[in-house]
Structure 1
Amino acid sequence: MTQPSQPPALSRRLTLILATACGLIVANIYYAQPLAGEISRALGLSPQAAGLIVTMTQIGYGLGLLLIVPLGDLFENRGLTLCVMGVGIAALATAVLAHTVSLFLTAAVFIGLGSVAVQILVPYAAHLSAPALRGKAVGDVMSGLMLGIMLARPVSSLITHLSSWRMVFIISTLVMILLTLTLGYVLPVRRPAPGLRYRALMASIGSLAVHNLTLRRRALYHAALFGAFSLFWTVTPLLLTGPEFHLSQVGVALFAFAGVAGAIAAPIAGRVADRGLSKPATLFAMLAAGTAFLLTHIGDTGSHLKLGILVLAAILLDFGVTMNLVIGQRAIFALGEHYRSRLNGIYMATFFVGGAIGSALGGWAYAQGGWGLASLLGIALPAIALCYFASERPATE
């Protein structure tokens, strides 16, 4: 019982199941973003505090990245995943029934906490794959995750338009129950080798972050790019529903579907990394993110041309950010099998902070100087990453 298990190799069927699971689980973090106004009005939350609906979910997710995801290096992965998903199911059901602000915000924290199951599954896929195909495996699974991120907002907007915001959480609760049962049946056992106890495991996280240059670089690269991503998707709904474009929530939902095209970058990035082309692909990803914001300065605000350019920018930005994410994960997963979950937790937590900063900067910049100022900040973030990347030595992946 003390020996690490040797699960079967990652089959095409299991890859598809993991990709689907990652997309469905991660979507729970993003469903509430376009619904913050609807939910706050229903629960009596002031417009100024409506952002707490999203923030509390992010806090829960961030805590889970640091406190739960590293447990993948300590406990059997399938059982850990199912337990964490159980927390998410209970939280989603609570959100459905919540009629007070305090209860809903508490549920939001645990929705975020339960959603970190996705970051247990991604290194789990890396464990099941052969080293030469690890980038392909991670890229294929991450394509599902990115689809979940990009589809969650338009799907929740459309469901709310047709029914109510509570229906979004009802459907998600039922989907998570079915998914948990499915994963419990199909996932092979993967038990890590005996090693550290929990306290020592958590204490090692700081050492890994400080002493591992590849991890530190990759995490900071993506913090900048994910900050730009979060800025774009925080500000563009405000721009599109404003006096320049006058789009409805359905129109914003349709616009958000454009970003789905960027998900095709995940499997491409994995295969490119497997061929030893991580550095040129990283350069391309950073340039793509910066160029996306530059493109948005073409055309007159409110014109059909401008709207088309914004769609193109969304696709290019999402493509670059997804590519950089997968290349970064492939790089850190190659650093060591026995602390792969801890590396993933540090990586994700770092760029998640970058995303939160990007959202906050975007909202402030748009209020102060409109899209012009916000887009300049959007250009600056990948530019900072590019400057840091330029200092990378040849030995660093």
Structure 2
Amino acid sequence: MSDKTPQPSYLSTPILLLMAIACGLCAGGNYFNQPLLHSISVGLGISETQAAMTVTVAQVSYALGLLFIVPLGDKFERRKLAVGLMTLAAIGQFISGFAVNSAMLFTGVGMAGLFSVAAQVLVPMAAILSAPSRSGRAVGMVMSGLLTGILLARSVAGLLSGIGGWSTVYLVSGVIMLAIALLLWRKLPASKNPHTAGYAYILASLFTLLREQPRLRTRALMGGLGFASVSALFSTMALLLAGPAHGLSDVAIGLVGLAGVMGALMASLGGRLADRGLGDTVTSVSVILLLVSWVLLWLGHDNLWWFIAGMLVIDMALQGIHINNQTVIFALSPQARSRLNAVYMTSYFIGGASGSTLGTVAWTYGGWAGTCVLGGILAILAGAATVTDRYVKSRMLNDKLPAAATGQ
């Protein structure tokens, strides 16, 4: 009897597309509330500030799931883990859909956020089960689905709110998520790291990776700051667009979110360029675009077309940063991809939660101008992290470390 572990077949394009849809549903569910903040406030009889806090609750819950659940992808069989998490996330969506008060809504949003990290089990799985020369393409394809889900979530939420009220999208999402989870169970191949360890060791190794991989630190910081900048927009855009300057309905606000669909295309393109060795260039250009987007958004205070242009550019910028960050970190240690992704994405969503909170504060005390100043400052800090990452990479190359250690 052979003691060799059979190697899984590479994932086909249809399977990658199914994974992309699953990731889009999981991640998108955390963004349903963004165009609905005004309607949630009215429907549940709470303040707009309380309604906006659901954005932070979703992101904090997601960050906790990234830290404590995603690393298990290096221990347990990934198909079972992803399907189980997706099922629990669907239950959270149902709780949100049936919410009659803020406490029930926060519970549902928090549960859905915690377990929707199924998406971050599937992303490294796409890299693991793909040919090495096409891992960037595979990650880019799955991430395109994830990002499209996030962007369409706002539009779909607004449209369904116009049909059946703000809670409709949560109920519809729960049903679809359960159906996709069943398909994943039937179609995904089994995938498990042959070298497993106890849960305590898995968690402790996160800090070891963070200490030993300098580019993990710089890329995690870059991603966190970039998402913090964009989250300042996400947590306040509905308040601006529904206000006196624009007076848009939930449906119209959701449609404005479609301007960011190009960001999802940027993820796929970014993955392909990373496979060609152009990831650092894409990252630098994306950070510059992040700063430019806030100028456009500032002009969009009372001009919808400038606002839409800013939405388009900021989504493209974020995804250009994000997909290249993941391509770099997945190359650092192939046997620890779930843990590397956990460290990176935890930083990413801590940044997102911080940006949402700071964005709400900036809106409260400085209006839209305050939000734009905050977003611009965070974009500049992301640029500083990019420069630092370039320096770290150059130093590692000068020290003649193996190519894998530089994330190439």
The TM-score with structure 1 as length reference comes to 0.93
C-alpha deviation, 1:97, in angstroms: 3.5
Query: What are the equivalent positions in structure 2 for 1:348-387 lying under 5 Å apart?
Result: 348-387=345-384
Task: Give identity over the alignment, percent.
Answer: 37
Match of 1:309 among 306, 309, 322: 306
Task: Report the Cα offset of residue 140 of structure 1.
Answer: 1.0
SS in 1 for 2:236: helix
1:49 match? 50
Secondary structure (helix, strand or coil) at the match of 1:192 reads coil
Residue aligning to 2:224:
223
The answer to whether the 8 Å contact 2:155/2:258 transfers is yes
Match of 2:110 in 1: 109
Take 2:6 and 2:209, find their aligned partners in 1: how far apart are those partners?
Answer: 25
* Greater mean alpha carbon deviation, residues 361-370 or residues 112-121: 361-370
- Contact 1:5 1:192 (C-alpha < 8 Å) held by counterparts: no
The answer for the alignment partner of 2:100 in structure 1 is 99
Maintained 8 Å contact 2:52/2:360: no
Residue range with higher mean Cα deviation, 215-224 or 372-381? 372-381
Shift of 1:292: 1.0
CA offset digits 1:231-270 (Å, max 9, x no partner): 1222332222222222222221221111112211011100
Find out whether 1:322 has 2:323 as its counterpart. Answer: no
Q: How much has 1:3 moved relative to structure 2?
A: 6.6
Where 2:235 maps in the other structure, the secondary structure is: helix
The 1:156/1:297 distance shift into structure 2, 3 A limit, reads closer
1:177 alignment partner AA: L
Write out aligned runs for 1:262-277 (5 A). 262-277=263-278
Q: Which amino acid aligns with 1:157?
A: G
Structure 1: which amino acid aligns with 2:330?
Answer: F
The alignment partner of 1:50 has SS state of helix
Distance in 2 separating the partners of 1:51 and 1:370: 15
8 Å contact from structure 1 (residues 288, 317) kept in 2: yes
1:68, distance to aligned residue in structure 2 (A)? 0.7
Cα distance in 2 for residues equivalent to 1:101 and 1:379: 32
**Conserved 8 A contact 2:56-2:357:** no
Matches of residues 160-199 of structure 1 in structure 2 within 5 Å? 160-199=161-200
**Residues 289, 314 of structure 2: 8 Å contact kept:** yes
Deviation, structure 1 residue 46: 4.9
Take 1:159 and 1:125, find their aligned partners in 2: how far apart are those partners? 32
Residue pair 2:60, 2:353 contacting (<8 A) in 1 also: no
The residue type equivalent to 1:362 in the other structure is G
Alignment of 1:57-72 (within 5 A): 57-72=58-73
Does the 8 Å CA contact 1:29/1:58 hold for their aligned counterparts? yes
One-letter identity of the residue aligned with 1:343: L
1:366 to 1:103, Cα distance in 2 relative to 1, 3 A:
closer
What is the identity, as a one-letter code, of the residue corresponding to 2:184? L
Give the distance between the partners of 1:3 and 1:40, measured in 2 at CA.
58
Partner of residue 215, structure 2: 214
Match of 2:202 in 1: 201
Q: Structure 1, unaligned stretches of length 5 or more? A: none
Secondary structure of the 1:51 match is helix
d(CA) in 1 for partners of 2:371, 2:322: 23
Q: TM-score, normalised on structure 2?
A: 0.91
Aligned to 2:403: none
Question: What is the deviation of 1:109?
Answer: 1.8
Q: Is the 8 A contact 2:38 2:239 kept in 1?
A: no
Q: 1:52 offset after TM fit, Å? A: 4.0
Distance 2:297 2:48 in 1: 29
Secondary structure of the structure 2 residue equivalent to 1:165: coil
| Structure 1 position 45, deviation (Å) | 4.3
- Cα separation, 2, equivalents of 1:14 and 1:37: 38
Query: More displaced, 316-325 or 252-261?
Result: 252-261
| Partner SS, residue 333 of structure 2 | coil
Supply the distance in 2 between the matched residues of 1:53 and 1:322 (Cα, whole angstroms). Answer: 23
Deviation of the 1:79 alpha carbon:
0.7
| Alpha-carbon shift at residue 194 of structure 1 (Å) | 2.6
